[in-house]
Structure 1
């Protein structure tokens, strides 16, 4: 964590942009540490409150668009080539595409506020080729809500911004449990269909 905090402290908005773009591009960087620190810096008048929120939200969109493009243009090939090593197949990809075709907007919006999910939610949206316009809108609003809440919390906690990170951390485990449950559901459905055949 010290490298993350040092990057934000020494480079301000540029450091926030870099870290938040990477987080949305499938690099597990904890925004629940970065953004409360940004709020703390804003409370000390070292950076602006709204500039921190806006820069982080734009960075999330940039990283999300990169991950979306990977999912959209390289996703199927990636799954077909490497998916067998983690139990994934073309059938799983087809199901994900149908699922996002039906619930994509809600998944992208609320997924931005679940720590373990927000980092990877753009990939299945790309797999499903969700409407780019809707993807952008729901990514922006979901990221804005998340970033505003964390910056505001860090701003209010001032020097105690790390307390917020410690209290938000359990939600990372909830998000991870959701991902594990989804993978287990896909696997069980696959097995039941194979047994039926």
Structure 2
């Protein structure tokens, strides 16, 4: 009997094989709308398609389309949280594998970091999928939510797509390492972002010191 993971993986693969960029968009939209279709399959397989070179798909192209898919799906989840509130999620979330523990984790993350949690969480396992729900419940500013979501989704989509390009026909080996891949990619992206922030602060500090002199 085919496993759930294998079924979902095959669905995502067929979607991209048939529809190209539209498949990437639909798949990433569903994932961010809390439908359990892993981006760890969608984006690496998209990278494999880029590696094949048989279509007009590019790494930059799948990155942008993947981020837009994340944005659309996140907006859907945001408005579910905004309109339905916590009672709706508690009652019906189980049908989409939205457990109480996952909701509580997203709640704690949002309460601790506020709106910035939406940006940071896009490269973190579990939280990235569900952070839109408490953001909607808290009525976070929609424009800020959309900007943070899109910007935060770009590095995640790029890194997964790049891995698919580099692995080529061997991209399927990541199937057994979803959680490890989450951690590696998340840490890598956070290090890069942290370095860029550090350089920006350092540059700003040097500029301010030069003005004082």
Question: TM-score by structure 1 length?
Answer: 0.73
Asked if 1 retains the 8 angstrom alpha-carbon contact of 2:64 and 2:154, the reply is: yes
Asked if 1 retains the 8 angstrom alpha-carbon contact of 2:174 and 2:181, the reply is: no
Asked if 1 retains the 8 angstrom alpha-carbon contact of 2:44 and 2:165, the reply is: yes
1:22 aligns with 2:35: no
State the 1:66 CA deviation: 0.9
Within a 5 Å distance, the mapping from 1:65-80 to structure 2 comes to: 65-78=75-88
Asked if 1 retains the 8 angstrom alpha-carbon contact of 2:59 and 2:158, the reply is: no
Identify the residue that residue 118 of structure 2 maps to in structure 1: 108
State the 1:87 CA deviation: 10
Structure 2 distance, partners of 1:24, 1:41, is 22
Identify the residue that residue 195 of structure 1 maps to in structure 2: none
Within a 5 Å distance, the mapping from 1:32-181 to structure 2 comes to: 32-45=40-53, 46=55, 47-78=57-88, 82=91, 96=107, 100=110, 103-170=113-180
SS in 1 for 2:22: helix
- Runs of 5+ consecutive residues of structure 1 not aligned to the other structure: 174-197
Change over 3 Å in CA distance of 1:43–1:73 after alignment to 2: same
Asked if 1 retains the 8 angstrom alpha-carbon contact of 2:118 and 2:145, the reply is: yes
Number of matched pairs = 166
- Runs of 5+ consecutive residues of structure 2 not aligned to the other structure: 1-8, 184-213
